[in-house]
Amino acid sequence: MIDHKFRSLCLSAGLVVAMAASASAADLTGAGSSFIAPVMSKWAENYKAATNNAVNYQSVGSGAGIKQLLDKTIVFAASDKPMSDADLEKNGVAQFPMISGGIVVSYNIDGVKPGELVLDGKTLADIFLGKIAKWDDAAIKALNPNLKLPSTAISVVYRADSSGTTFNFTDYLSKVSPEWKEKAGSNTTVEWPVGFGAKGSEGVSTTVNQTAGSISYVEYSYVVANHIGFAKMKNAAGKVIEPSLNTFEAAASSADWAHAKNFNLIVTNQPGEKSWPIAASTWVMLYKKPADAAANDEALKFFKWAYEKGQKEATGLSYLPVPEAVVKVVQESWKKDFGTK
């Protein structure tokens, strides 16, 4: 079960920060992905209790996190879009996977409960293209013959900031809709054909909750914590499935991290009858040779602790921990990239 009191506090703030009452200059600082923010914050809270070392993490979006890292104002970044081989090499940065999970389609439709709506990739793309403008459109009704859908205008809500969640969501739309790929494509920011923006997963969740007829996309734990409607999806195998740890795991099971250069793998629209179609991962980025080597060492201690001690918190918030075999591969890469023993 998700700790709803903790999550409500977490989502009400623009920044997700886990720290002592007053942070010292020695505190570890990171920023980026709002996808990972709930579990990162929980990890930081428990790590502080276990070690008395504070980790301050700002949920500012993947793009902003990478920018802050490259500006050298933080120790680590977290992003749901991996950096390219060229950018890693150019900037002397290494990356490794920290968590996987699922992006879900969230909605606020009068009379439709969470999990009742069914969508498929083409219909979803047509909604975000503006080709389907009302909830009782024939394409939606065909997927939901037993639902009473209102003739309400659809309000598309998207991430206004540079977002790894947007990257994975638009990567999925590009795979299932040639028209979406041609007109909008996939990136951390795109030219949205319709709709209006909200900042961060926190802002998207709040906006959907407050906007009748709205639809958006967000990491699963946010819809659970905010009691927002979420859709079932027809996956690549043509099966209608619900978002869950099991379906996220089925999608992630094909990820061959051990043989992926710089751990660069995208897991949207994976095959398999139980695979959730919009699965995603979050990577952590650190300088290989930073000016403050001690801060990097502290960051690696924190992430080692999260790999070994943070699985319960991860699954409790509906994330997939990195498998033990992959952790071993990651820690081997640390020896090469950071000189760890």
Band of the pLDDT at 24, cuts 50, 70, 90? very low
Band of the pLDDT at 254, cuts 50, 70, 90? confident
Band of the pLDDT at 168, cuts 50, 70, 90? very high
Task: Sheet containing 240-241: give its strands across.
Answer: 118-119, 232-234, 240-241
First vs last C-alpha separation in the chain: 37
Q: How large is the average pLDDT for residues 106-111?
A: 97
Helical spans, DSSP H, in the chain:
4-12, 37-51, 62-70, 85-91, 121-129, 138-143, 164-176, 178-183, 200-210, 220-226, 245-252, 293-309, 311-316, 324-338
Could you count the other beta carbons within 10 Å of the beta carbon of residue 160? 18
Q: Which two tokens stand for residue 299?
A: 């960051």
Query: What's the pLDDT score for residue 255?
Result: 84
Query: What's the pLDDT score for residue 23?
Result: 38
List the domains of the chain with CATH numbers.
4-100+281-338 (3.40.190.10), 103-259 (3.40.190.10)
Instruction: Read off the pLDDT of residues 119-147 as tens digits, 9 standing for 90 and up.
Output: 999 999 999 999 999 999 999 999 999 99
Band of the pLDDT at 223, cuts 50, 70, 90? very high
Band of the pLDDT at 214, cuts 50, 70, 90? very high
Instruction: Read off the pLDDT of residues 261-313 as tens digits, 9 standing for 90 and up.
Output: 999 999 999 999 999 999 999 999 999 999 999 999 999 999 999 999 999 99
Residue with tokens 């690549």: 236
Q: How large is the average pLDDT for residues 17-30?
A: 54
pTM of the full predicted structure? 0.91
Residue 76 CA to its chain's centroid (Å): 17
Residue with tokens 């999550």: 7
* Dihedral of alpha carbons 57, 59, 63, 68, sign: negative
* CA–CA separation, 200 and 134 (whole Å): 26
Look at residue 241 and tell me whether its pLDDT is greater than 90.
yes
Query: What's the pLDDT score for residue 35?
Result: 97
Could you count the other beta carbons within 10 Å of the beta carbon of residue 313? 20
Contact 20, 48 (CB under 8 A): yes
